[in-house]
Structure 1
Amino acid sequence: MSDAPERTRAVLAGMGAPESLAGPLVGALGPGAAEELAEDPWRLLALPSITPDQADYCARRALGGAASPDDPRRGRALVGRVLSAAVREGSTAVEERELGRSLRSMRISDPRPSIEAALDDGAVMAFEVFPEDDEDDFTGGEAPEMPDPDRFFAPARIGLAEQDLGEGIARLVGTSEPIMDPTTAAETVEAAAGRLGAEIPAETAAAAVTAVMRGVTVLRHGAASAEALRQVLACLAETAADSGVGLAVACPTAQSAVYVNAVLGDALRAGPAAGGPEPAAEEEDGAAPEAAEEEPSTEEEPSAEEPAPEGGPGDPVAEAAADLAALGEPAPAAAAQNGGVQDGGTQDGPAAAAPAVASAAVPLGRLLEAGVPVPAGIVAVTDAMALDVERAAALVEACEDGTHLVLFADPAEAPSARPGQVVPDLLRSRLAAVAELPAVPSAGPLETLAAAVAGGDLPQVDAPGREVVVVPAGSGAEAAHRAVQLLGDSIPRALGIPAEHVQIVAATRGGDAGTDALNRACKERFNPGPGALRGLDPGDRVLLGGDGPGYSAGDIGYLRAAAEDGGDRPRVELPGGASVPVDPAHLRPGWAVTVAAAHGSRWPAAVAVFGPETRGSRPQVYTALTRATRHLSIVHAAGPDLARAVAERASITRTTRLVDVIRES
C-alpha cells in the first residue's frame, strides 16, 4: 500500500492544515502530493473547498516571511482556481482582462507574472482570437492593419478539446459528399414511409434529406417531436442500407438510450412495415396523482400499463451492443447480424464487411469504446444539447473523413452539465446545415407546458389525465417531504409506474429541498444501511460522476455489489440491464439529481423540485420539466421567483471559443 497519504499528512501538519485533507490531495495531485505541497503550499488550492485565505495562512506557516501575495507560485495557483471556477460554471475559457480583474481582486498587483507562471507550468494554455471586422476595406489598394487579438486562457485539457472539436467539425464538413442524389434520397424517404406504414410529413422528409446531403447537420426540435425523430432515423437507416455506408445511433446516457429505443421500436430494422410503438412521450392513457398536498386517492384504478422492465432478453440496448462488437468484423455471421456483408471475395482474401446499420441506439460511451474510427458513414446523436466539448471532441475524432454527423437537439434546453455549449456554438458558426423537425399536431399536457416555458411563460396547463401535477409546498423541508412521498408511494400507487422508473430532479444541490437533503431522506426511507462504500450500500440508486469502461458521466443505476469477487470495483446495474464495474470515486447518491445531472436522460415519471433557494433560468426550468415522458409532478416552494426566472432569464451565459475555432479552421 502506498505511503503517500501518510507523507502528505506530515506535510499538512507542518503547515497547520487539517490532516484529513491528505486523501483528497493525493487524489487530486497524485502520489507525489507531499513533495508538491512541501515545495508549493498553494497547491492546497487544487481542492475547490480550500479558500485562497486558507491557503495563504498555510503558506505563511510553511514559508514564514518568504510568503508573499505576489509569489509566482501563489499566482499560478490562483490562475488555476479562476479557470477551474469558470469551467464548473460551464465556460471553456476566460478572457485575459476578466482573468486579470479576478486576480487583482485576490491581492495580486500585476497579473502578468502569475499568468506566465501558469503557462510555464503547462496546465494552462493561451489562445488568440482575431475579432471579425465587417468594415475591412481593401478597395484603397492597401490591406487594413490587423487588429490586436483577444487572448483567452483555458485549462489545457479543455482548451485542446475545444480546439480539436472545432477543427474536427471543419474536417467533416470539408471532406463530406452527398451520400446520394436528392431524387434517390427522396425515394428512400418514401421507402421508409412504406416500411413504417405511415406518411412522413414534408418537413421531416426535408430534414432527413438534408442530413443525407450535408456533412454536419443539426436537426432542431421541441418536446413534442419524438415521432419526427423516429421517422428521420428510419429514413437514415434506409439510406445507410441502400448506400452501404452504415448507420450508428448514440445517446448521451444509458437512460436516454432506453428512452430513444422505446420511441424507435423497430424503426431501424430492415424488413416489411415496422410500425413501432407510439413514442413514450406521447402516451396519455394512464391516470396520474391528484394535484393536492395530501396523497392521491386510491379509489381510481390506474389504466396505464406498467412500463416494460429495462434490460433482459430482447433488450434493444443489449442487442445493439452486440451489433457494436461486430461492427467491421469480416465474419459473415457477425456482419449479417449487423446489416449484411458484401458477398464474395478476392484472391487477396475474404470480402470485407459492409458497415452495419444499427438495430438500436446505444449510449455514446459504448459507441466510442467499440472502436475508432466508428465504422459507419452516418453517425446520429440524440439529445445533443447534453454534449460537452470533451465528449463532442472524442465523437468527432472517432468519425472518419466524409462521415455525416447528425445532431438532434432541442435548443430550449440548458447547455451541457460539463463545459461548453456545443450545439449553440455550432448553430452560431453557420457552418452546419440546420433543419427543423415538426411537433405532433395534438400535443399533450407535458408538451404544452414545455412549449409555454420555452416561450417564457410558466402557466397552469389543462391536464385532464393529470399528466402534470403541481404540488405546492410552504418550505424547503415540506417540498422534500412531498418529493419523497411522490417517489415512494403516490406515483407508483396511483399511476402504476414503479419507483425505480421515477426520478427526482432538483433545481439546487444545497438547501432543505436540494439534492443533498433529498438523497439523505431517500436513503433513510428506501435503503437504510451503514453506508460502507462512501455512504452507499447495495440497493442504492447511484449517479455516476465520471466516465469508465461501459459507463458515462450522468448514467444513473443501482449499486448491486460493493465489490467484485476478489476485486475492489463495485458493480452498478445500468438502464438496459448492463452490470458494469465502476471506479468507486465516480459513485454519487442518485435518488435525487440536479437538473444538470439529469440533462440528456428521461424517465416515465419525474418529480421536479424547486425549493425556496431556486434562482433558475428559462433553460434550466425547461430542462427540468421535460425529463418525464408520462407524468410530471412539480413540487413548488420557490414562490413567484420561478415564473420570474422563466420570463426574464432567457439564456445561460458561457464563455467559449468554439465559434472562433470553427471560423479559423
Structure 2
Amino acid sequence: MTSPISDPVPDPDLAGLLASAGVPQGYVRRAADRLGSRAVALLREDPWRLLRVPGVRPEQADHFARRVLEDRGEQPRPEDPRRGRALAVHVLTEAARRGHTAMTPQAVLSALGALRVPEPERAVEAALDEAEVVTLLEEPDFDESADFDELDELPEPEESLGLARYALAEEAAAEGLRRLTATAGPLLPDDTVRSLRAGLPEDRALALTAAARTGVSVLHGAPDEVEQTAAGIARVVAAQGVRVAVVTGTMAAARSLGLGTGLHELLEARCPQGAAAGVVAFGRGEQRPLEAGLVIVPDAGALDVETAAALVEACADGAHLVLGGDPAALPPTGPGMVLADLAASETVPVIDLAPPADPAPPARFTAAVRGGELTVVDAPGREVVIVPAGGEREAVHRAVQLVTDSIPRALGIPVEDVQVVTPLAGGEAGAAALNAALKARLNPGPGTCGGFDPGDRVIAAVPVVGVAAGEPGTVVAASSAGLEVAFGSGQEPAAVPAAAVSRLRHGWAATVALARGTRRPAVVAVLPGEAAVALSRPLAVTAFGLARRHLSVVHTDAPALARAVRENTGTPRDTRLGRLVRQ
C-alpha cells in the first residue's frame, strides 16, 4: 500500500514568524536550510538575516524587517547597522555566487550605493566589525628586474574585501600548496623513474616525472586523457610500494573510473546536525592527515576554494598532489578557480596532455567545441547525434524519447546509464521540467515524501548525510519520516530525514554544473533557446565531455548555440589564489 503523500514538515515557529510578516510559505524550507536550527532566534535578533536565504531580494528583506520590528514596537531605520551589515554581506555573497572570492572596496561601495544604503562606508565597517567580511591586503606583483633607483615610490599594497569564509579558505589552500611544494622529496629513486618512463609518450613521461619528483603538479587535457594518465601514474607508483589515493568528485565517478574514492568519502565528511545546508565537517585534516604519499585528483577543475582547502590540509607533509582537469571546461560551481589559478601561477609544473591520434566521435566532437567550432563529426555507430527541436516542449519530448527508447534500443545502453544535462534548473526545458517528464514515464508515483517515491533517481543538490553535491542515488524507501537512498552499489542506504529532503533533486536530469562530477556512458545535452544567456563554450565543453560512449545534443536554436561556442569563452573571476601561492 502506498504511503500518503507528504511534504517535509517545516519548523512551526519559523513558519509562523515568516507568515506573520507575509513571507510566502515556500521560503520556510529555504530559510531553515540556510540558517540552520537557530533560524528563528537569528531572525528575531536581526531580521535582515533573511537576506541570506537564496532568492530573497533586498527590498523583500526590508519588508520583513519592518514587519518584525514594528510588531515588537521598534521603528525600522534605513541607517540601522544591521541593515548595512546585511547588505554588505549580500553584495559579497552575490559576487561569490558568480565565483568571485574578492571585490575592490570601490566596487562594494558602488553596489551599496545602488541599493540606496545611506552610508556605504559605515555598512562595510559594520560587516568588518562582525568579522563576516575581511579586508585583504596583498603586495602587488613586482618586476624583480626593475631598477629600484628609477622608481619614484614603491607600489602600495592592493586592498580588497571578501567574505571571511572564502578568504580564509583561499589563504589556507595557498598555504597548503606552498607547504606541499616545500616539504616534498622524491617519491621514487631517479633510476626507478627513468625505468618507468621508458617507452611512454613524452607527455605521459613528463606527467609521471612531475608526480614523482615535485610536491604539486597540474595535468591539463580532455577528460579521457587526464583520467587515463592519472590511472597510469597511480598504478605504476602504487606498484613501487607508495600509497596512492585517486580522488574523484563523487563516489559514482570513482565507480565509473574503475578506481579511486569520492572526495567526501575519503575525507570522512559529515553534515553536522542542525547546521545550515551545505555545511560539512571533515574527519580528515591537519590533525589527522591522509596516509597517502601521492594524491591524484583527475577533475580538480571542479574544486572550489573551500573544498580545495579541505583536501590540501588533509595531505600530510611530504605528500605529492597531482591536480588534473580540462582548462576549457567550466570553473567550479562555488567561489574560486583553484586549478586555473594554480596553473597560471608559474609555481608548479603544468603538463599539457596530447590528444589521441584517432579519438572516439564524442571526444572528437568535444575537441572541436573546445576550439570554438560546432561541427559535424563522422559517427558511424551513432556515437554523436544532433537532434533539432521546434521549441522547449518539443526538446523535452525528444529528450524523453532518447532516454527511454532510442538510446537503450539502438545502442544497448540501459536507462540507468543515461544522464540528461541542461544549463538551467527552471524553465520549460530546465532540469525540473525534464525530470517531471522522465518521472512520469519511468517511475510515476504520488511523491510520497517531498515529491519522491521508491525507484526515483536523485542527486544531491548540496552535501547531505555525508555525500557530496552532485552525488547520484536511488530512492529505495519513502515515508512521511523521510527517504532511504542508495548512493552507491553495495553500500547501505542512507537515511535522509524529511527535514533534509529539500537538499535532493530528481536526478534523471540535472544542471551541467551539478552533474559534472560523474561521467556517464551516454549523455543527452538539452540546450534550449530559453537558456541562451547561460550558453558558453565552457558549458558546452563540460556537458559534452561527460559522455563516454554516446552524446545526443537536443537544441532549439542552432545559430545561438554555434555563436555561444564560437564567442562566449566564459566570465572572468576575481580570485587571489594565484597571487597567494607566489608569496
TM-score in same-fold range (> 0.5): yes
Q: Are residues 515 and 600 of structure 1, via their aligned partners in 2, closer, same or farther at CA, if it must alter by over 3 Å?
A: same
Q: Write out aligned runs for 1:523-602 (5 A).
A: 523-548=439-464, 551-562=467-478, 570-581=483-494, 582=496, 583-602=500-519
Determine if the alignment matches structure 1 residue 362 to structure 2 residue 261. yes
2:104 to 95, 100, 110: 95
8 Å contact kept, 2:234–2:246 = no
Shift of 1:187: 1.0
Shift of 1:250: 1.3
Superimposed CA distance per residue, residues 371-391 of structure 1 (whole angstroms, 9 cap, x where no aligned partner): 531111111111111111111
Superimposed CA distance per residue, residues 121-160 of structure 1 (whole angstroms, 9 cap, x where no aligned partner): 2333332223224388554299943414221222x22222
8 Å contact kept, 1:221–1:437 = yes
Superimposed CA distance per residue, residues 381-428 of structure 1 (whole angstroms, 9 cap, x where no aligned partner): 111111111111111111011111011211111111222211001011
Amino acid at match of 1:494: A
8 Å contact kept, 1:211–1:404 = yes
Q: Are residues 14 and 533 of structure 1, via their aligned partners in 2, closer, same or farther at CA, if it must alter by over 3 Å?
A: closer
Number of corresponding residues: 549
Aligned-CA RMSD value: 2.5
Distance 1:476 1:146 in 2: 54
SS in 1 for 2:554: strand
Distance 1:505 1:103 in 2: 36
1:8 to 11, 14, 23: 14
Find the counterpart in structure 1 of residue 95 from structure 2.
86
Amino acid at match of 1:612: G
Distance 2:236 2:28 in 1: 57
8 Å contact kept, 1:519–1:591 = yes
2:252 to 251, 255, 276: 255
SS in 1 for 2:218: strand
Determine if the alignment matches structure 1 residue 168 to structure 2 residue 176. yes
Amino acid at match of 1:238: V
Q: Write out aligned runs for 1:97-496 (5 A).
A: 97-134=106-143, 137=146, 139-140=148-149, 144-154=153-163, 156-190=164-198, 199-225=199-225, 229-230=227-228, 233-242=231-240, 244-261=241-258, 360-369=259-268, 371=284, 372-496=288-412
Q: Are residues 184 and 6 of structure 1, via their aligned partners in 2, closer, same or farther at CA, if it must alter by over 3 Å?
A: closer
Shift of 1:633: 0.6
SS in 2 for 1:211: helix
Shift of 1:223: 4.4
| Greater CA drift, 528-537 or 91-100 | 91-100
8 Å contact kept, 1:450–1:626 = yes
8 Å contact kept, 1:131–1:150 = no
Amino acid at match of 1:643: A
Q: Are residues 416 and 19 of structure 1, via their aligned partners in 2, closer, same or farther at CA, if it must alter by over 3 Å?
A: closer
SS in 2 for 1:456: coil
Shift of 1:114: 0.9
Shift of 1:232: 5.2
1:644 to 555, 563, 582: 563
Q: Are residues 578 and 4 of structure 1, via their aligned partners in 2, closer, same or farther at CA, if it must alter by over 3 Å?
A: closer
Q: Are residues 576 and 112 of structure 1, via their aligned partners in 2, closer, same or farther at CA, if it must alter by over 3 Å?
A: same
Shift of 1:20: 5.8
Shift of 1:259: 2.3
Distance 2:152 2:185 in 1: 35
Amino acid at match of 1:233: A
Q: Are residues 522 and 236 of structure 1, via their aligned partners in 2, closer, same or farther at CA, if it must alter by over 3 Å?
A: closer
Determine if the alignment matches structure 1 residue 608 to structure 2 residue 553. no
Superimposed CA distance per residue, residues 191-228 of structure 1 (whole angstroms, 9 cap, x where no aligned partner): xxxxxxxx5323212211121111101011124526xx
Shift of 1:112: 1.3
Superimposed CA distance per residue, residues 532-566 of structure 1 (whole angstroms, 9 cap, x where no aligned partner): 22111111110112335552111112111226xxx
| Greater CA drift, 427-436 or 554-563 | 554-563
8 Å contact kept, 1:546–1:586 = yes
SS in 2 for 1:570: strand
Distance 1:40 1:236 in 2: 52
Shift of 1:643: 0.8
Amino acid at match of 1:570: L
2:552 to 599, 608, 633: 633
SS in 2 for 1:558: strand
1:76 to 50, 75, 85: 85
Q: Are residues 18 and 604 of structure 1, via their aligned partners in 2, closer, same or farther at CA, if it must alter by over 3 Å?
A: closer
Distance 2:131 2:547 in 1: 44
SS in 2 for 1:531: coil
Shift of 1:502: 0.3
8 Å contact kept, 1:130–1:149 = yes
Q: Are residues 117 and 136 of structure 1, via their aligned partners in 2, closer, same or farther at CA, if it must alter by over 3 Å?
A: farther
TM-score, length-normalised on structure 2?
0.88
Find the counterpart in structure 2 of residue 330 from structure 1.
none
8 Å contact kept, 2:135–2:159 = no
Amino acid at match of 2:119: D
Q: Are residues 188 and 112 of structure 1, via their aligned partners in 2, closer, same or farther at CA, if it must alter by over 3 Å?
A: same
2:543 to 608, 624, 636: 624
Amino acid at match of 1:258: R
The percent of aligned pairs where both chains have the same amino acid is 43
Q: Are residues 658 and 419 of structure 1, via their aligned partners in 2, closer, same or farther at CA, if it must alter by over 3 Å?
A: same
In structure 2, list runs of 5 or more residues that go unmatched.
1-8, 269-282
Shift of 1:636: 0.8
Amino acid at match of 1:67: P
Q: Which structure has the greater CA radius of gyration?
A: 1
Distance 1:31 1:256 in 2: 32
Amino acid at match of 1:660: R
Distance 1:375 1:222 in 2: 29
8 Å contact kept, 1:544–1:555 = yes
Superimposed CA distance per residue, residues 103-128 of structure 1 (whole angstroms, 9 cap, x where no aligned partner): 11110132111111112223333322
Q: Are residues 462 and 177 of structure 1, via their aligned partners in 2, closer, same or farther at CA, if it must alter by over 3 Å?
A: same
Distance 1:158 1:13 in 2: 33
Amino acid at match of 2:365: L
Shift of 1:236: 4.1
Find the counterpart in structure 1 of residue 415 from structure 2.
499
SS in 1 for 2:166: helix
Amino acid at match of 2:360: G
Find the counterpart in structure 1 of residue 39 from structure 2.
33
Q: Are residues 63 and 224 of structure 1, via their aligned partners in 2, closer, same or farther at CA, if it must alter by over 3 Å?
A: closer
Distance 1:93 1:21 in 2: 28
Amino acid at match of 2:89: G
8 Å contact kept, 2:197–2:205 = yes
In structure 1, list runs of 5 or more residues that go unmatched.
191-198, 262-359
8 Å contact kept, 1:4–1:33 = no
Distance 1:471 1:597 in 2: 23
Distance 2:446 2:508 in 1: 17
Distance 2:115 2:100 in 1: 21
SS in 2 for 1:417: coil
Distance 2:17 2:450 in 1: 25
